[in-house]
Structure 1
Amino acid sequence: MSEPVLVALRGASYAYEDGPTVLSGLDFSVRAGRALALLGRNGSGKTTLMRLLSGGLRPHTGQLTVGDDPVRYDRKGLTRLRTTVQLVVQDPDDQLFAASVAQDVSFGPLNLGLPDTAVRARVAEALAALDITALADRPTHLLSYGQRKRTAIAGAVAMRPRVLILDEPTAGLDPDGQERLLATLDGLRGSGTTVVMATHDVDLALRWADDTALLTPSGVVTGPAATTLARTDLLEQAGLRLPWGIAVTGLLRAQGLLPALSPGPRTADELAAMVPGLGPVTLPRP
C-alpha cells in the first residue's frame, strides 16, 4: 500500500491492572483514505486497541506515533493527537452530557481555545455533515437513539480529525438508520476523513471496508476485506462466521455463474444484478 500512515502503534503492549495482557508487541497502522473494519470476538482487544490509538490509554511498552512523530502524553501532545484522531464510543449516552445538541458538539472546539466564530463554523459544519442541523437546539435527553448516535459522531467530526474511530456505530439502529449512517460515513470519507469501524457484523465489513483487521489469539491480521474475510482459518480464530457475500461468491463460481477473477457480490442488490432473472433477494438476519 502506498497511502501514508496517519497513526500507528509500534511494538505496543497493554495489560489492565491485575489482569492478563490484552495486546502484546502489536504493530498496527491506519493509512490515509482506507476504510478499515476491526473485527474479533468479545475480549479480543478491539476496545483496548481503539483507546490506545486515540490516546485514552497509554501503551505499557512500545509507542504511538502520529505520522513519524511519537505521541507525548502531556497536555500539548494529547491535544495534538485529538485533533488527528477521534474515538466515538458505542453507547452515545456515555459521550453526551450537554443540555442541547449544539452545546454538546461545540465542547471539543471550545476546549481547543478557538474563537467563537470558528467554533460556530465547526458546529454548523458537523451538524450538516451528520444531517442533524434541525436538531441544533434540541435537548439531548429528547433525542432518539439514532439521533444521539449522530450527535456523538458530530461532536467528534467538529474536531476535524484526520482519523475517525467508531465503536459499533450501527449497533441498535434499524435498517433505515444503518443505511443513513453509512451514507453519512461515505460523505465524511469523501471529504477526506479516514474512518475506522469496530464491528461484529462481517457482512457490513465486507460491504463497507477496504481493509479488515482480524484480532485473533495469535495476533492481528490486516489485509484487503474480500481476501481476509475469505480466510476461514482466521475467522474461526476470531470467533466470526463466513460473510454472506463470500459464501454466495463460492457458490456462484462452483455453478459456473461467476468467473474466477471477477469480484463477488457484497449485497443482495449486487447479487440480483449479477444473476439476471433472480429477482429481489433478502439477506438472512445475522
Structure 2
Amino acid sequence: MREYILETKDLSFKYPDGTKALKSVNIKIEKGKKISFIGVNGSGKSTLFLNFNGVLKPSGGSLIYKGNAVKYNQKSLLELRKNIGIVFQDPENQLFSASVYQEVSFGAMNLKLEETEVRRRVDEALKNIGMYDYREKAVHFLSYGQKKRVSIADILVMNPEVIVFDEPTSSLDPKHSSQIIDIFDDINEKGITVILSTHDVEIAYSWSDYIFVMKDGEIVKEGTPYEIFSDDKLINECYLQKPLILETFENLIKSGKVKSTETIPRNKQELFQLINA
C-alpha cells in the first residue's frame, strides 16, 4: 500500500498584487520517492514549494502532511519546517554565518539539542555532502558549488523527512551537477523523500521516480518519466524538450535498429547496453 507523506487538496495561492500563482493544485507525494517538478519559469513551482513548508499560506485549499491538514500556528509551523526543509536556488540567500561549521550548526542549535548531539549531526551532515574537511573555512571563501553543498547540510542537520530543492543544479557545470545528484541519491537511500524543481529534462528523466508537470499554476500531467516525456503533445504545449536518451531510443526503434521496447533506457549506460545487445 502506498504511503503519501505530502498532499495538497485544491491548493491555491494568490499574491498581494492579485497574481494567481497556484490554481486548485491536487497532488500526492509518495514517501521515500524521488520527485521532480518541471515547467517553464512562472509556472508556479517555487510558489508551491514555499507552500510545502509553510513559508507561504495558501489562499484556498489545504496542505496535508502525513495525513493531517497543516495548521498555521507557530508550534505547528515549527514542527512542519523541522520535517520539511527547503534548499533555495541561490545559496547566497540561505547562508549567513561566518564559518561552515557555524552555518550548519545553527539549525541544530535551534532544536535545543545537547552540544554533543549538535556536533554529531553537523559532522554527519558535512560528511554526507563531502564538506567535512572545510568545516572551519569561512563561507565567503567557498566556491558556488561548495556553497550549494553547505546549504544542503543546513537542512540535513535537522534530520528532515522531506527535502525540497529549487533548481539545485542551476549555474553548476556538468561535473558538479552530477555530484549534487549523487548527493540526492545518498540522501534518498536514507529514506528521505527528495523533491526538486528543474529545467534540466535530462536530470528529470534519468533521476526521478515520478514527475509533475506545471503550467500557469496548475498540474497539467503527472506520471513516470517515460509517461511524461513520451507525450509529444505535452512537450510542445509546455515548451519542454524530449531527453536525448529517450529521443535516441525512439529513433532507434523507428529505424528498426532496436526491436525490443521491454526495457526503456533511462541513462547512457542503459542505452549503450541496449544497442550492444
Check whether TM > 0.5. Answer: yes
For 1:236 and 1:147, locate their aligned partners in 2 and report how far apart those are by CA, in whole Å.
36
Structure 2 letter corresponding to 1:274: L
Please tell me whether the aligned partners of residues 206 and 226 of structure 1 are also in contact (alpha carbons under 8 angstroms).
yes
For 2:2 and 2:214, locate their aligned partners in 1 and report how far apart those are by CA, in whole Å.
22
Task: State the secondary structure of the residue aligned to 1:98.
Answer: coil
Task: State the secondary structure of the residue aligned to 2:276.
Answer: coil
Please tell me whether the aligned partners of residues 92 and 149 of structure 1 are also in contact (alpha carbons under 8 angstroms).
yes
State the partner residue of 1:58: 57
State the partner residue of 1:240: 240
Task: State the secondary structure of the residue aligned to 2:58.
Answer: coil
State the partner residue of 1:284: none
1:205-264, Cα deviation, whole Å (9 max, x unpaired): 101101110002483121111111211222223221111122112112112233453233
State the partner residue of 1:182: 181
For 1:66 and 1:117, locate their aligned partners in 2 and report how far apart those are by CA, in whole Å.
30
State the partner residue of 1:228: 228
Do residues 69 (structure 1) and 60 (structure 2) align? no
Structure 1 letter corresponding to 2:29: V
For 1:260 and 1:80, locate their aligned partners in 2 and report how far apart those are by CA, in whole Å.
49
Task: State the secondary structure of the residue aligned to 2:71.
Answer: coil
State the partner residue of 1:19: 18
State the Cα distance separating 1:44 from its structure 2 match.
Answer: 0.3
Task: State the secondary structure of the residue aligned to 1:214.
Answer: strand
1:78-137, Cα deviation, whole Å (9 max, x unpaired): 111012211100000000000111111111111122221221111111111101100111
Please tell me whether the aligned partners of residues 40 and 238 of structure 1 are also in contact (alpha carbons under 8 angstroms).
yes
Structure 2 letter corresponding to 1:22: A
For 2:241 and 2:207, locate their aligned partners in 1 and report how far apart those are by CA, in whole Å.
17
Do residues 150 (structure 1) and 149 (structure 2) align? yes
Please tell me whether the aligned partners of residues 248 and 265 of structure 1 are also in contact (alpha carbons under 8 angstroms).
no
Please tell me whether the aligned partners of residues 96 and 104 of structure 1 are also in contact (alpha carbons under 8 angstroms).
yes
Please tell me whether the aligned partners of residues 213 and 222 of structure 1 are also in contact (alpha carbons under 8 angstroms).
yes
State the partner residue of 1:96: 95
Structure 1 letter corresponding to 2:27: F
For 1:218 and 1:231, locate their aligned partners in 2 and report how far apart those are by CA, in whole Å.
20
For 1:256 and 1:275, locate their aligned partners in 2 and report how far apart those are by CA, in whole Å.
11
Structure 1 letter corresponding to 2:249: T
Do residues 253 (structure 1) and 253 (structure 2) align? yes
Please tell me whether the aligned partners of residues 216 and 234 of structure 1 are also in contact (alpha carbons under 8 angstroms).
no
For 1:118 and 1:165, locate their aligned partners in 2 and report how far apart those are by CA, in whole Å.
24
For 2:72 and 2:114, locate their aligned partners in 1 and report how far apart those are by CA, in whole Å.
25
For 1:15 and 1:189, locate their aligned partners in 2 and report how far apart those are by CA, in whole Å.
32
User: What TM-score do the two structures reach when normalised by structure 2?
Assistant: 0.95
State the partner residue of 1:205: 204
- State which drifts further: 141-150 or 263-272: 263-272
Structure 2 letter corresponding to 1:108: G
Q: How many residues align?
A: 276
State the Cα distance separating 1:145 from its structure 2 match.
Answer: 0.7
Structure 2 letter corresponding to 1:227: E
- State which drifts further: 92-101 or 7-16: 7-16
For 1:246 and 1:175, locate their aligned partners in 2 and report how far apart those are by CA, in whole Å.
19
Alignment of 1:34-49 (within 5 A): 34-49=33-48
Long gaps (5+) in structure 1: 278-286
For 1:231 and 1:219, locate their aligned partners in 2 and report how far apart those are by CA, in whole Å.
18
Q: Which has the higher contact order (CA 8 A, sep 6+)?
A: 2
Alignment of 1:27-38 (within 5 A): 27-38=26-37
For 2:66 and 2:257, locate their aligned partners in 1 and report how far apart those are by CA, in whole Å.
45
For 1:210 and 1:56, locate their aligned partners in 2 and report how far apart those are by CA, in whole Å.
26
For 2:131 and 2:55, locate their aligned partners in 1 and report how far apart those are by CA, in whole Å.
27
Please tell me whether the aligned partners of residues 21 and 217 of structure 2 are also in contact (alpha carbons under 8 angstroms).
no
Q: Identity of paired residues, percent?
A: 33
State the partner residue of 2:114: 115
Please tell me whether the aligned partners of residues 203 and 266 of structure 1 are also in contact (alpha carbons under 8 angstroms).
no
